[in-house]
Structure 1
């Protein structure tokens, strides 16, 4: 990653990157909101819990 960062600093943002990230300008990512609570900002007990 240091090499990628150095190349991008020297030659411009997104000169090179990881293949899994897709091509700049063609990324059509959006958050999935199907399972979000209608009160997701006001009900702490409805927030999802992640265990590691």
Structure 2
């Protein structure tokens, strides 16, 4: 919080804010579903393994 306060003192109030500081309602973009990571890269149990010979 000290770093945020220092930046705001230098650059003006609200220049630096926590990530979840109420910006979600103002958001004009959304995630494109076709750009999501395939499930196999996020499920550890489903990762492919290579066998060395």
Normalised TM-score (structure 1): 0.41
Which structure has more helix as a fraction of its residues?
Answer: 2
